[in-house]
Amino acid sequence: MPAVKRAPPRRRRLPRQLLRRLRWAGPALLCVGIGAAIVLARLPLAAALEQRVADRLVAATGTLGFAVTDIEVEGRQTTDPATIMDALGAVRGTPILAVNPSRAKEKLQALPWVRSAAIERRLPGTLFVRLVERKPLAVWQHAGKQELIDRDGAVIPVTDLGRFARLPTVVGEGAASHARDLIDMLDTRPALAARVSAAIWVGERRWNLRIDRAIDVLLPEDDAAGAWNRLAELERTTALLSRDVQVVDLRLRDRVVVRTSAVPASEPGPGKKPRIAGKST
């Protein structure tokens, strides 16, 4: 009889449901691995290692010619050059890729005179800085102190106001936010505007001007520009402000009220000095 051979053992097939699960598990495990790598990279030790590697790579770019050779600054008038260099954190020879434009921009815009800043790396070796500086408009006197303001009425934090003595002074709470419109109006008559030493914001609605440090000009709440032009024409045709005038009231459209300094009541006798009376009301 022929020998009976033992049949080879049959392979057990995995259930279809399990095979389907294994096919989905592969990509999922891959995603988990990537996520774990990202988490590990954020650990202090890994981050420090990554930073050291990055620093060495940046330093290597400097030896390849990507180093700062020129720093071009556009728009600088008042900001100190050394302060700009400090904000950039760069000198000649610094790897240009080591300069962080965003960080430098933040530092520059924190400076008193800088309104806005933009920094560009122009490879291989030029840093370009564009500044928009704040323009001093007037000295604001309020609450017992004086501060320099720009056209937006914002305070420019400087300590020495001596070099801004030729700027007009605006006085009173709220004066700073209205100063730009006032100065623009005054500039339409530059010869007369040069004689305005101060402007007082009255009642949160109108201005009084001090001219030649002696004469008060009361402007109306409405159509202050029209009143200013009337005053300029009066000065041109009659030299009104060169007379013995103390107050010029322009608050009425159809007339100009002028108050003069008090006139001595009588001629002084021999050896007597003339007596000047007080301000008229």
| Residue 206 identity (one-letter amino acid) | R
Structural domains for the chain: 65-133 (3.10.20.310), 136-260 (3.40.50.11690)
pLDDT at residue number 158: 86
Residue 109, judged by CB atoms within 10 A of its CB (0-12, 13-18, 19+), counts as: middle
Element (H, E) at 155: strand 155-156
Q: What is the mean pLDDT of the chain?
A: 80
Sign of CA dihedral 24, 27, 31, 34: positive
Closest CA to 139 of 101, 172, 91: 172
The tokens 């400090």 sit on which residue? 86
Exposure b/e, 157-169, CB count within 10 A at least 16 = b: eeeeeeebeeebb
Residues 6+ apart with CB under 8 A from 194: none
State the Cα–Cα distance between residues 205 and 264, nearest whole angstrom: 36
Q: What is the pLDDT of residues 179-230, one digit of tens each?
A: 999 999 999 999 999 999 999 999 999 999 999 999 999 999 999 999 999 9
Output the pLDDT for position 222.
Answer: 95
Does the pTM surpass 0.85? The reply is no
User: Which DSSP symbol is given to 9?
Assistant: P
What sign has the CA pseudo-torsion 146, 151, 154, 155? negative
pLDDT in tens, 235-253: 999 999 999 999 999 999 9
Q: Rounded to an integer, what distance in angstroms lies between the CA atom of residue 203 and that of residue 120?
A: 48
